[in-house]
Amino acid sequence: MKTLTPALTFIFLVFWVLTGGTARAEEVDCAACHKKVTPNIVSDWELSQHGQNQIDCSACHGSDHKSEKDVKNARIPTPEVCAECHEEKVREFKNGKHARAWSSMKAMPTFHWQPMVMIEGMKGCGGCHKIGLKTEAEIKELSKAGRGFGMASCDACHTRHLFSVAEASQPQACQTCHMGFDHAQWEMYSTSKHGVRYLLKQNKTLPEGAAAPKCQMCHLPGGNHANQTAWGFLAVRMPLPEDKQWARDRATLMQALGVLDPEGKPTPRLEVIKKEKVVRLTQEEWQKERSSRPRIGSWPRRSGSWRIYIRMACSRSRRNTPSPTRIS
Ligand code: HEC
Ligand code: HEC
Ligand code: HEC
Ligand code: HEC
Ligand code: HEC
Ligand code: HEC
Ligand code: HEC
């Protein structure tokens, strides 16, 4: 036995070196070449959890592109690629509104009346709505038009190639899209006391332990990537309420949006809106979403101050929505 062991070890070593050697000869050192071509991508990757856990470039981009001559063979990852290792996050994401951002944008009749510069490729509307999932056919079409980046969705909050949770956990991760006149969540939040306190915490004026909420606490509670709110963007819902005046107001809004016809009957657009989860269609569905907002600290939920806090954090008073007395 004593003489056999070194012999076996030797055979094993030869085998290991041979197989290891051949495998290495076939591999390309992506990072070495890309240090010259795209140095910031490589330095970001080196700092990332991926770089530090040996998740190399080819884990996401495949290994069919090996030099400057075959660049088109590089795989441009979609969330399906992330799902190979982060299945749960991708499943959650698919259940949320972000996943629908591309299709809901295209479902807007007014989208198709915009000048090309507003809608072509990933520009204009697509600059933000690219966070949504695209079909295979859409990906092909978009790639034909240009380099075809913007398919990944998952790099909207933890941007490539750092893919940092620390970055995604700050309200600034939402700022680039949730801003501007038609969805001014950033402006409302950052000028409210909630946001001001949070930003003062970030610049260390306030101590780390100071209570101050951020977008993620309310909208991705527990890290759940399936974001959705009760009222949603259009701030209308079915069924119509008992309050006659309110029901009339809401029906007018739905008629203006083309969801109800002038007689108040549903139009084919209702099907689109259902598919894209634009409105909650039953009281139960609305209530479920409404109740799922987490309780932050000791802020009261059903009292007047809950309503005021909603108006402070994400005020909807700019839209033709019910007054606070009607919200609860
Ligand atoms: C010998 C140099 C070299 C090697 C090795 C190399 N690349 Fe590249 N790669 C390039 C060049 C040059 C480009 C084009 C860059 C540009 O135009 O901005 C490129 C582009 C890319 C792109 C963008 C693709 C596109 O559609 O524009 C990805 C992704 C990529 N490389 C990943 C990799 C991966 C993964 C590997 C290893 C399996 C690798 N590269 C190996 C030189 C190289
Ligand atoms: C081959 C497996 C693999 C693939 C593919 C992959 N990841 Fe990861 N990812 C990891 C590992 C391993 C870690 C290290 C931490 C861990 O164990 O969760 C990680 C960590 C992360 C983190 C946490 C970083 C932090 O700061 O803690 C994020 C965010 C992330 N990945 C996003 C993505 C996204 C987005 C994609 C797709 C574009 C992707 N990953 C593709 C394996 C993978
Ligand atoms: C790349 C742009 C982008 C980024 C970054 C982004 N969002 Fe969004 N978000 C959108 C778009 C576009 C929609 C509308 C999707 C739809 O409903 O079709 C949306 C929808 C939402 C909704 C659902 C509203 C509803 O209709 O119920 C919530 C909540 C939300 N985002 C929160 C966040 C938070 C919190 C962050 C940061 C952690 C964030 N978003 C980062 C673009 C973005
Ligand atoms: C600056 C980023 C940005 C741009 C540019 C942008 N959007 Fe949006 N869009 C958003 C965000 C964020 C939301 C979600 C806001 C909310 O729920 O209050 C949204 C919501 C929507 C919704 C509602 C979806 C739903 O399910 O409720 C539609 C439809 C829409 N946008 C279409 C468009 C069209 C069409 C354009 C181009 C004319 C456009 N958007 C340009 C960020 C953007
Ligand atoms: C965790 C997955 C992941 C890893 C690991 C990864 N990439 Fe990427 N890479 C992406 C995603 C996602 C995109 C954006 C795709 C999109 O926008 O559609 C991207 C885009 C690119 C691009 C296009 C240029 C741009 O704007 O970013 C290049 C070049 C690239 N990667 C090179 C590399 C190189 C080199 C490495 C290794 C040092 C690497 N990637 C590692 C996920 C990854
Ligand atoms: C709206 C912003 C946003 C988008 C889009 C987003 N993430 Fe995240 N992600 C976050 C935040 C915030 C955290 C930290 C959550 C927490 O506190 O646990 C996170 C954490 C993670 C983590 C590390 C935590 C864990 O449980 O392993 C992974 C992995 C991850 N995301 C993958 C993905 C993938 C894959 C996608 C695309 C399907 C994606 N993310 C899209 C905001 C986002
Ligand atoms: C303290 C909790 C809280 C914070 C912090 C917060 N929100 Fe909200 N947000 C809410 C509530 C509650 C609603 C209304 C939900 C409903 O429809 O019933 C809402 C609604 C929304 C909507 C749906 C459209 C609308 O305006 O009604 C979006 C999008 C959104 N918030 C994004 C953000 C972003 C981005 C941030 C950070 C810049 C943020 N929120 C900060 C609690 C919060």
Note the pLDDT of residue 290: 87
Rounded Cα–Cα distance for residues 301 and 304 (Å): 8
Element (H or E) spanning 237, and its range?
none
- Please report the sign of the dihedral spanned by the C-alpha atoms of residue 114, residue 117, residue 122, residue 124: negative
Here the tokens at position 58 are: 């080819």
User: What's the 77 CA to ligand 5 centre distance in angstroms?
Assistant: 8
Most ligand 7 atoms within 8 A of CB, residue of 314, 316, 317 to mutate: 314
Whether 275 is in the pocket of ligand 4, judged by its Cβ within 6 Å, is no
Q: Note the pLDDT of residue 250.
A: 87
Q: Residue 198's pLDDT is what?
A: 97
The half-sphere exposure of 315 on its side-chain side, counting CA atoms within 13 A, is 14
pLDDT for 296 equals 57
- Quote the CA–CA distance of 104 and 111 in Å, as a whole number: 10
Which of 98, 102, 290 should be mutated for ligand 3, with most atoms under 8 A from CB? Answer: 98
Pocket test for ligand 1, best of 40, 50, 65 (most atoms within 8 A of CB): 65
The torsion defined by the Cα of 261, 267, 269 and 273, in degrees rounded to 10, comes to 90
Tell me, what's the pLDDT at 147? 67
Query: What is the spatial distance between Cα 233 and Cα 217, in angstroms, rounded to a whole number?
Result: 19
Alpha carbon of 160 to ligand 2 centroid (Å): 11
Q: Which numbered atom of ligand 2 lies nearest the CA of 165? A: 26
With CA atoms as reference, report the closest residue to 257 among 243, 238, 244.
238
User: How far, in Å, is the centroid of ligand 3 from the Cα of 255?
Assistant: 25
**Ligand 4 in reach of 105 Cβ (< 6 A):** yes
Q: Comparing C-alpha atoms, which of 206, 159, 142, 174 is closest to residue 44?
A: 159
Report how far ligand 7's centroid is from the alpha carbon of 19 (Å): 55
Largest CA distance in the chain: 95
Protein residue with its CA nearest to atom 41 in ligand 5 = 57
Taking the C-alpha atoms of residue 79 and residue 131, their distance in angstroms, rounded to an integer, is 11
Cα 170 to chain centroid, rounded: 14
Ligand 4 centroid from CA 171, angstroms: 18
Helix (H) / strand (E) containing 221:
none
Q: From the CA of 117, which ligand is nearest? A: 4
Atom of ligand 7 nearest to the CA of 231: 17
182 alpha carbon to ligand 3 midpoint, in Å? 13
Return the structure tokens found at 200.
């003062």
Long-range contacts of 71-79 (CB under 8 A, 24+ apart): 76/143, 76/148, 76/149, 76/151, 76/152, 77/151, 77/152, 78/133, 78/134, 78/139, 78/151, 78/152, 78/153, 79/133, 79/152, 79/153, 79/154
What DSSP string runs through 125-136?
A: HHHHHTTS---H
Ligand 5 atom nearest to 81, measured from its CA: 2
Instruction: Please name the helix (run of DSSP H) or strand (run of DSSP E) that holds residue 213, with its range, or none.
Output: none
pLDDT value for 11: 54
**Residues 32/41, Cβ–Cβ less than 8 Å:** no
- In the reported structure, the alpha carbon of residue 278 is separated from the centroid of ligand 3 by a whole-number distance in angstroms of 13
pLDDT digits (tens, 9 = 90+) for 112-170: 777 777 777 777 889 999 999 999 999 988 888 776 788 999 999 999 999 999 999 99
Rg (C-alpha) for the chain, rounded Å, is 25
Residue 233 Cβ inside 6 Å of ligand 7? The answer reads yes
Tokens at 10, concatenated: 């030797």
* Cα angle: 217, vertex 221, 225; to 5 degrees: 120
Asked whether 257 and 271 are in contact (CB, 8 A), the reply is: no
Provide the pLDDT for residue 327: 38
Q: Is the CB of 50 under 6 A from ligand 2?
A: yes
Give the tokens for residue 243. 């309050």
112 Cα to the center of ligand 2, angstroms? 37
Per-residue pLDDT tens, the chain, 328 aa: give them. Answer: 444 455 555 555 444 444 443 334 457 899 999 999 999 999 999 999 999 999 999 999 999 999 999 999 999 999 999 999 999 999 999 999 999 999 988 887 777 777 777 777 777 889 999 999 999 999 988 888 776 788 999 999 999 999 999 999 999 999 999 999 889 999 999 999 999 999 999 999 999 999 999 999 999 999 999 999 998 888 878 888 899 999 899 889 888 888 889 998 988 888 888 888 888 888 898 898 888 876 655 443 433 333 334 444 444 444 444 433 343 3
